[in-house]
Chain A
């Protein structure tokens, strides 16, 4: 058994810094590179892409990234684990194999995890006992069933560990949890048992710290943000894990950013609910048990973590089509900037009402004044400029489109000293709403297949 392993974060979302994976594999020693590409609505975007092109529906960025890092990863035997397979892991792997061949790389095993996509078997699963009620509102799925765009089960570390045991060096999954990409290697390398709750929970906590990339190493840091060095060359976090469940969060020497108790603490609190009840497929983690200790420059020791048995359910992430929206902006300058923007808002609302357009919501915000903090933001008397932002949402495409035609004319027909309409008319975009649900674990099973380059 290895004494320790180093798992590095390579991507925090689909669209993150493309240079990071290469830096993680080349600027220091690591054993695993994990890359998270999937957010709640990403799957529905990928389903749409797949509908248009049967070879699309995964994170295409991944191919360029792998092309960059293949030589290092193969030479240093670094294993790569990512959920960038999206809704089409098979097409993703086909493209990876082509990319590997371009680099003359043959004989590398790739594990593919599928079985999470249940969009075409909802009815069948309902007959077998799944309810798919909305976890947050308790509503029945029947009202939105015909409008579903995607439905994916969040698998955990089980299929990833299986692929590692079968010798995979690259593992491509669909909708596995972000955290599992980090703790699956720990389970595999340290031979943790599936009832080692405290150790599994520690792995989950490491995963939570790594899954948002630079957010743990000085990015989006609300403490003394000015003190964070060299964000232009930010180093992404690395978890140096030990068999007993303790780990150290660090980053490569010579990179920018900062790993401190404060930067790690902020990430630990990011998007959590009840901290004693952080649910993942393999265990429940108690975030109140986490202890942090300074372990040197850019090193934070994380220990003391407690876990408990998992639930009998997987979470299911569903997305459905829920109408259209559009948003547009106009910029007004001094004098009377805010007054002008408010008058323009009044004019456009009158016109929308005259046209008898139907919207579920019209929202006006004044960027530079109160769009972030609403009534908490004190209003200054003399502001230099303000961006008026008007957004509408509704179920009639035509009405949303008609709104888009009302904004630009204000430049010639409304209050003066107005600019900032270079982008053209706001176009209706489909609103994709999120439907979180549960499914009994016994009804679905992940599938693992091993291919070779």
Chain B
């Protein structure tokens, strides 16, 4: 079964130094069960190959049906040093929603 992440979740991203934070929120309980099970730190790290050069940490917020990801070494040195057009990782939540989960 294939599910597009954008069909079951939304989110927001921002910067924490050179790390980006991406919060992903499922629209309903069923969606949360899917992302909790399949949207692993490893899956996210693989998705961001060529963008995230550090480790990916994952935290669960079941009350909010949400997962929070910290992507280290991702923003080209951090908000003010970075030469990236999106130096603060504002568009990375949308980039994660491009993912298709296969299970």
B60 touches A271 (CB 8 A): no
B residues 57-72 touching A (CB-CB < 8 Å): 57, 59-66, 68, 70
Q: Which residues of B contact A270 (CB under 8 A)?
A: 12, 14, 21, 23
B91 touches A273 (CB 8 A): no
Question: Is A422 close to B, CB under 8 A?
Answer: no
Question: Is A236 close to B, CB under 8 A?
Answer: no
> Within the complex, what minimum Cβ distance (angstroms) separates B66 from chain A?
6
B91 to chain A: closest residue by CB: A372
> Within the complex, what minimum Cβ distance (angstroms) separates B87 from chain A?
10
B21 touches A273 (CB 8 A): yes
A319 to chain B: closest residue by CB: B80
Given contacts A266-B11, A271-B14, A275-B59, contact A363 B83 (CB under 8 A): yes
B85 touches A265 (CB 8 A): no
B91 touches A290 (CB 8 A): no
B86 touches A372 (CB 8 A): yes
B76 to chain A: closest residue by CB: A363
Question: Is A389 close to B, CB under 8 A?
Answer: yes
B88 to chain A: closest residue by CB: A271
Question: Is A344 close to B, CB under 8 A?
Answer: no
> Within the complex, what minimum Cβ distance (angstroms) separates A358 from chain B?
15
B10 touches A373 (CB 8 A): no
Given contacts A365-B85, A375-B49, A376-B47, contact A271 B64 (CB under 8 A): no
Q: Which residues of A contact B70 (CB under 8 A)?
A: 273
Given contacts A367-B85, A392-B83, A434-B78, contact A269 B95 (CB under 8 A): no
Question: Is B34 close to A, CB under 8 A?
Answer: no
**Which of A262, A371, A376 has a CB less than 8 Å from the CB of B85?**
A371
Q: Which residues of A contact B61 (CB under 8 A)?
A: 269, 275, 287-288, 290
Question: Is A228 close to B, CB under 8 A?
Answer: no
Whole-angstrom distance between the alpha carbons of A276 and B93 in the complex? 21
B16 touches A433 (CB 8 A): no
Whole-angstrom distance between the alpha carbons of A128 and B15 in the complex? 33
Q: Which residues of B contact A234 (CB under 8 A)?
A: none
Question: Is A446 close to B, CB under 8 A?
Answer: no
A: number of interface residues (CB 8 Å): 52
A-B contact count (CB 8 A): 132
A residues 362-379 touching B (CB-CB < 8 Å): 363, 365, 367, 371-376
Question: Is A244 close to B, CB under 8 A?
Answer: no
B10 touches A266 (CB 8 A): yes
Question: Could you say which interface size class chain B belongs to?
Answer: 35 or more
> Within the complex, what minimum Cβ distance (angstroms) separates B20 from chain A?
10
Q: Which residues of B contact A389 (CB under 8 A)?
A: 85
B14 touches A262 (CB 8 A): no
Question: Is A289 close to B, CB under 8 A?
Answer: yes
A376 touches B51 (CB 8 A): yes
A431 touches B81 (CB 8 A): yes
B68 touches A275 (CB 8 A): yes
> Within the complex, what minimum Cβ distance (angstroms) separates A283 from chain B?
19
Given contacts A220-B12, A262-B10, contact A288 B63 (CB under 8 A): yes
Question: Is B55 close to A, CB under 8 A?
Answer: no
**Which of A276, A373, A433 has a CB less than 8 Å from the CB of B98?**
A373
In this complex, the member of A222, A276, A393, A431 whose beta carbon has the largest number of chain B beta carbons within 10 angstroms is A222
Q: Which residues of A contact B31 (CB under 8 A)?
A: none
**Which of B18, B57, B64 has a CB less than 8 Å from the CB of A290?**
B64
Closest 5 CB pairs of A and B: A269-B23, A223-B10, A391-B83, A363-B83, A372-B91
16 chain-A/chain-B pairs, Cβ below 8 angstroms: A40-B80, A136-B18, A222-B94, A224-B10, A262-B10, A268-B64, A273-B16, A273-B68, A273-B70, A275-B61, A275-B68, A304-B63, A371-B86, A373-B94, A431-B81, A432-B80
Beyond A266-B11, A365-B85, 19 extra complex contacts between A and B, CB < 8 Å: A40-B79, A222-B11, A222-B97, A262-B10, A266-B23, A269-B11, A269-B23, A270-B12, A270-B14, A270-B21, A272-B23, A290-B64, A361-B76, A361-B83, A372-B91, A372-B95, A374-B51, A376-B47, A434-B78
